[in-house]
Amino acid sequence: MIKCFEKATKKTIILAILCISVLLLLGACGENSGGSEDATDETTAATEEQTTTEVAAQVSDTLVVYFSHTGNTKAVAEKLHEFVGGDLIEIEPVNAYPEGYDAALDPAKQEQRENARPEIKGTIEHFDSYETIYLGYPIWWGTTPMIINTFLESYDFSGKTVVPFATSGGTGIAQSIEDIRSEVPDADVRDGLLVRDNDEIEPWLKNLGLIE
Ligand SMILES: Cc1cc2nc3c(=O)[nH]c(=O)nc-3n(C[C@H](O)[C@H](O)[C@H](O)COP(=O)(O)O)c2cc1C
């Protein structure tokens, strides 16, 4: 009877040990799988962080944007962009002006008389991220082409620095700067440059403290 009891106790102990071992093993597996989940979470977080940083690095705070009908301002914009970097974007009208200097004179005058806002192709993404905006245009009838007014009214310029530059057949830039300032009163509109020679660009930017 005692032997039988002893046998039964031994069996129970062995069973209990087996059960505990199985339970411990399961526990360990559980911990491991939880650990690998944590590791996966960490990897995902690291990847997301990296992606956000990469996106942040791609979005520049500098924009060089210009309108050019016959190419003079475009050439200046490209030169200026070499100094300041950032994004370079052309303002293109939905309805193109007739080709050539003379052909554009009357339509441009008409737009000015009507205080028109010629439509611009497309929109600029991430405009909010730009802090300094270099704005280039030809002088048309003494000031900015009306499409520049459309541009200035299309985005929120408050708190931004606007740096105008222009080309012309001789007229100065002063009137256009005044007009830009009244379009975007909440922006810091710097003294612009009428570019007669590309060699003027670098000293002007240095003088404004915009490049070193
Ligand atoms: C419609 C029109 C109006 C212009 N008005 C003036 C002007 O008032 N004063 C001036 O000096 N040049 C004037 N110009 C000459 C342009 O400002 C000059 O050719 C400029 O460099 C053209 O730049 P773009 O090649 O980038 O279009 C005018 C040209 C056009 C087509």
User: How close is the Cα of 138 to the center of ligand 1, in Å?
Assistant: 5
pLDDT of residue 59: 80
pLDDT of residue 41: 53
- The predicted model scores a pTM of 0.78
CB of 77 shorter than 6 A to ligand 1: no
Q: Are 91 and 151 in contact (CB under 8 A)?
A: yes
pLDDT of residue 9: 53
Give mean pLDDT in consecutive 10-residue pieces for the chain, a chain of 212 residues: 47 52 48 45 49 56 98 98 98 97 97 98 97 98 98 98 98 98 98 97 97 96
Q: Long-range contacts of range 157-161, CB-CB < 8 Å, 24 or more positions apart?
A: 157/133, 157/184, 157/186, 157/187, 158/184, 158/186, 158/187, 159/186, 159/187, 160/130, 160/131, 160/132, 160/133, 160/184, 160/187, 160/188, 161/131, 161/132, 161/133, 161/187, 161/188, 161/190
pLDDT of residue 28: 47
CB of 172 shorter than 6 A to ligand 1: no
pLDDT of residue 17: 54
User: How close is the Cα of 113 to the center of ligand 1, in Å?
Assistant: 17
Pocket probe mutation, ligand 1, options 79, 80, 101, 105, max atoms within 8 Å of Cβ: 101
Kind and range of the H or E element at 177?
helix 174-183
Ligand 1 atom nearest to 71, measured from its CA = 25
Question: HSE of 42 in the Cβ direction (CA atoms, 13 Å)?
Answer: 6
Pocket probe mutation, ligand 1, options 73, 106, 140, max atoms within 8 Å of Cβ: 140
CB of 144 shorter than 6 A to ligand 1: no
State the fold for domain 60-207: Rossmann fold (3.40.50)
pLDDT of residue 63: 98
pLDDT of residue 19: 43
User: How close is the Cα of 105 to the center of ligand 1, in Å?
Assistant: 9
Ligand 1 atom nearest to 168, measured from its CA = 17
pLDDT of residue 110: 98
